[in-house]
Amino acid sequence: MIVWFLLPAVLLCAFLMTAKLRAYALSNHLIDVPNSRSSHSVPTPRGGGVSIVLSFILFLPLLLVHNTISSAYVFALLGSGLLVAVIGFLDDHGHIAARWRLLGHFVAAAWSLYWVGGVPSLTVFGLQLNLGYIGYVVAAFYLVWMLNLYNFMDGIDGLASIEAITVCLGAALLYWVTGFNELIGPPLLLAFATLGFLYWNFPPARIFMGDAGSGFLGVILAIFSLQAAAVFQNFLWGWLILLGVFIVDATFTLIRRLLRRDRIYEAHRSHAYQYASREVGRHLPISLAIGGLNIIWLLPMAWLAVTSRLDGFVALIISYIPLIFLAIKYKAGALEIR
C-alpha cells in the first residue's frame, strides 16, 4: 500500500516546513502576544499549521496511484481544505469579518458535499433514517461547526495536534480491523503531517497552529467522517465518538454562552480544557489527558459502534456521558471572573 512509503516523507516535510514557518513568523513579527483572553503567557510565533496543510495536500494526490482513493474524494479534501486554510491564513495575518468567514466556510462545505454527498441513511434504535435532501443541509452545518469548533479548541499547547493524531490513528485502526483498508490512507497522512508539526507545538509550544491549521483540520476530519459513512454508515458513529471531547466541550460552551447572550465570535477562555489547564497550572497534563481519553475510552466505544456490538446512537450517548460530566466539572462556558 503506497501510503506506508509516504508517511516518513510527510512527517519530515511537515517538520522542516514548520521550522521555516517559525523563522518566517519571527522575522515578520507574526507573534501572538498574551492578553487577558489568552491561555499562554509568553509571546509565541503563530501560523505553523500551514505546514500541516501543505504537507497533506502535496502528498494526498499520490494516493491516486493504483486507485487507492477516488479522484472525487481528493477534490473534496483539496478544495474545501484549501479554501478554509486560505481564509484562516488571511485572518491570521489581518482580520476578516465573521460574516465573510462564515460565508467562505459554507462555500467550502458545499464544495465537499458536491463530491462526497450529504449524511447517509442512519440506523437509530433499529430504525432506518433517510434524511434525503435535508441531509445535505445537516451535513453543511456539521462541516461548518466542526471547522469552527476545532478553531475554538485550539487554545492550549499541543491539544489540537494530539486530538488530530489520536483520532486519525484511531479511525485508521477501526478501518483496518473491519476490513475497509481503502479508507486508511488519508487519515494516516494527516496524522503524520500533524505529528511533524507537533514537535514544534508540544508544550511549551515554540509556534502556534493558527486559524489556517485548526480550521483545516476541523473540516478535513469532518469530510473524513462523511466519506467513511458513505462507505459504511456505522463509521459516522465511530467518528462522532472519537471526536467526542472536542464536540462536547465546544458545543456545551457555545450553548451556555448563547444562553448568556455573549458574542460567540469574541475570544474567551471559558472552555472546560482552558479552565482545567489553569487549575493545574500547565498545558501538558491536559493535552496528554485528552489524548489518553481518546485512546482508552472513546476508541473502544467507537469500535463497539462500528462493529454493531452496540447500537451506534446508544454508544454515542454512553460515550458522551462522562464527557458532559467533565464539561460541567470544569465549568465549560461559565462566566470568566476577571
pLDDT in tens, the chain (338 residues): 678 889 999 999 999 999 999 999 999 878 877 665 666 667 889 899 999 999 999 999 999 987 779 999 999 999 999 999 999 999 888 778 888 999 999 999 999 999 998 887 777 777 777 777 888 999 999 999 999 999 999 999 999 999 999 999 999 999 999 999 999 999 999 999 999 999 999 999 999 999 999 999 999 999 999 999 999 999 999 999 999 999 999 999 999 999 988 877 777 889 999 999 999 999 999 999 999 999 999 999 999 999 999 999 999 999 999 999 999 999 998 887 65
Answer yes or no: is 231 within a domain. yes
Could you give the angle at the alpha carbon of 157 between the alpha carbons of 239 and 149, nearest 5°? 40
Answer yes or no: is 334 within a domain. no
Residue among 122, 180, 105 at smallest CA distance from 305: 122
Which DSSP category does 68 fall into? S
- Letter for the amino acid at 1? M
In angstroms, rounded to a whole number, what is the distance separating the alpha carbons of residues 334 and 324? 14
Burial class (CB in 10 A: 0-12, 13-18, 19+), 241: buried
For the entire predicted model, the pTM comes to 0.95
Answer yes or no: is 106 within a domain. yes
Residue among 152, 150, 331, 321 at smallest CA distance from 256: 331
Domain count, the chain: 1
**109 lies in which domain range?**
3-31+42-329
Neighbours of 294 (CB within 10 A): 24
Answer yes or no: is 276 within a domain. yes
Answer yes or no: is 257 within a domain. yes
Answer yes or no: is 338 within a domain. no
Answer yes or no: is 221 within a domain. yes
Answer yes or no: is 236 within a domain. yes
